[in-house]
Amino acid sequence: MPGSLSVAIRPRLEHHRETWDALGALAPLPSPFQRSWWIEGVAPHDTTYALVLDGDRLLGGLALGVRRVTGVRRYAAPGPAVLCPDHLDLLAAPGAEDVVAGVIGEWLARPGQRVLDLRGVADSSLLARALGATPARLDVAPYEALPVTPETYLARRSSNFRRSVRRAAKSLASKGIEHRQVSPADLPDAFAAFRELHEGREGRGPLVAQMPALIRALAAGVAVGEARIDVLAAGSDVVAVSLAFVVAGRLSLYQVARSLDGAHDGAGNVLLVAVIEDAVTDGCHEVDLLRGGEGYKSSFADRTRVVGRLRTAHGGAARAQVAAEDAARRVSARLRSRAP
Q: Do 154 and 221 belong to one domain?
A: yes
* Alpha carbon distance 135, 129 (integer Å): 10
Q: Do 256 and 320 belong to one domain?
A: no
CB atoms within 10 A of CB 141: 25
What integer best gives the mean pLDDT of the chain? 95
Q: What is the CATH number of the domain that holds 227?
A: 3.40.630.30
* Alpha carbon distance 260, 268 (integer Å): 10
Could you read off the pLDDT of 253-264 as tens digits, one per residue?
999 999 999 999
* Alpha carbon distance 299, 10 (integer Å): 43
Distances (CA, A) of 64 to 56, 90, 99, 117: 21, 10, 20, 10
Provide DSSP, 242-305: EEEEEETTEEEEEEEEE---GGGTTHHHHHHHHHHHHHHHTT--EEE--S---GGGGGT-SEEE
* Alpha carbon distance 216, 214 (integer Å): 5
Amino acid 311: pLDDT:
96
Q: Do 274 and 328 belong to one domain?
A: no
The rounded percent of the chain whose pLDDT value lies above 70 is 99
Q: Do 184 and 104 belong to one domain?
A: no
**Which residues partner with 117 through β-bridges?**
311
In a domain, 295, yes or no: no
CA-based nearest residue to 267, from 305, 298, 295, 241: 241
Could you read off the pLDDT of 22-31 as tens digits, one per residue?
999 999 999 9
In this prediction the pTM is 0.94
- How confident is the model over 206-224, as a mean pLDDT? 96
- How confident is the model over 146-174, as a mean pLDDT? 96
Total domains present in the chain: 2
Amino acid 64: pLDDT:
97
Q: Containing domain of residue 69, as a range?
A: 5-140+307-338
Could you read off the pLDDT of 218-253 as tens digits, one per residue?
999 999 999 999 999 999 999 999 999 999 999 999
Amino acid 334: pLDDT:
84
In a domain, 250, yes or no: yes
Q: How confident is the model at residue 51 (pLDDT cuts 50, 70, 90)?
A: very high
pLDDT of 310 above 90: yes
Q: How confident is the model at residue 3 (pLDDT cuts 50, 70, 90)?
A: low
Angle between helices 267-281 and 159-174 (to 10 degrees): 100
Q: What is the CATH number of the domain that holds 334?
A: 3.40.630
